[in-house]
Amino acid sequence: MKKTALITGATSGIGEATAKMLAEKGYNLIITGRRADRLKSLKEKLESNSTHVLELCFDVRNETEVKENLSNLPDNWKKIDVLVNNAGLAAGLDSIDDGNSDDWNRMIDTNIKGLLYVSYEVAQLMKENKIEGHIVNIGSIAGKEVYPNGNVYCATKHAVDALSKGMRMDLLKHRIKVTQICPGAVETEFSLVRFHNDADRAKTVYQGFEPLVANDVAECIWFAVSRPSHVNINDMIVMPAAQASSSIFLKQNN
């Protein structure tokens, strides 16, 4: 029987790459995101690979929307084997004394609260259906080290680090695995979102070195969820070869 994975933030970047990867590996998929047109397009692409796909358009920041969508799944979609908590973002790159509270709230609501809302609902389904499931949280090198002007974003990813450890303890009795994947610099829409759609500024983030791409992280996720039942990858940090820490890069002059 095919396994089912639920992926948040599936409309671009790591989420989209993970959806494609798991479809290739034989999973059925529940894909979520805020952009209905992208969800529909991704569903059409994935279903051409004989994958069954359920698209759910909602914002993980909205607890009511999360509950309404995930507590009312069709019966044939309630047995979720893998949850990939991918939805997350950075907003702004300002000193704490120059910060924007709208950016702060957006990061806290998405990266922490959104992860909690979705994890709670899916954990209930795993318990009710007696599934030895697997929750994969997408953290960041920013959850291991703080960097200048990263303040609130780094704090939210440190929270994901702590939550992953706590979830692993609390869900152990239900035989639900918990993995955290922590990428360094990945060229996706991340910087475009961080800089409020300033494409020129976003491009400068990756100049002078070769960053990771979304598929690099998807492969790490696949490695974690494809281990035998007695093996769990607790934590994985994956970086570009040109990145030594959250703020040290080897850049070539162009």
| Catalytic residue positions, numbered | 153
Dihedral over Cα of 212, 36, 68, 28: its sign: negative
Identity of the amino acid at 195:
F
- Rounded to the nearest angstrom, the gap between the alpha carbon of residue 161 and the centroid of all alpha carbons in its chain is 13
> What angle do the packed helices 115-128 and 63-70 form, to 10 degrees?
20
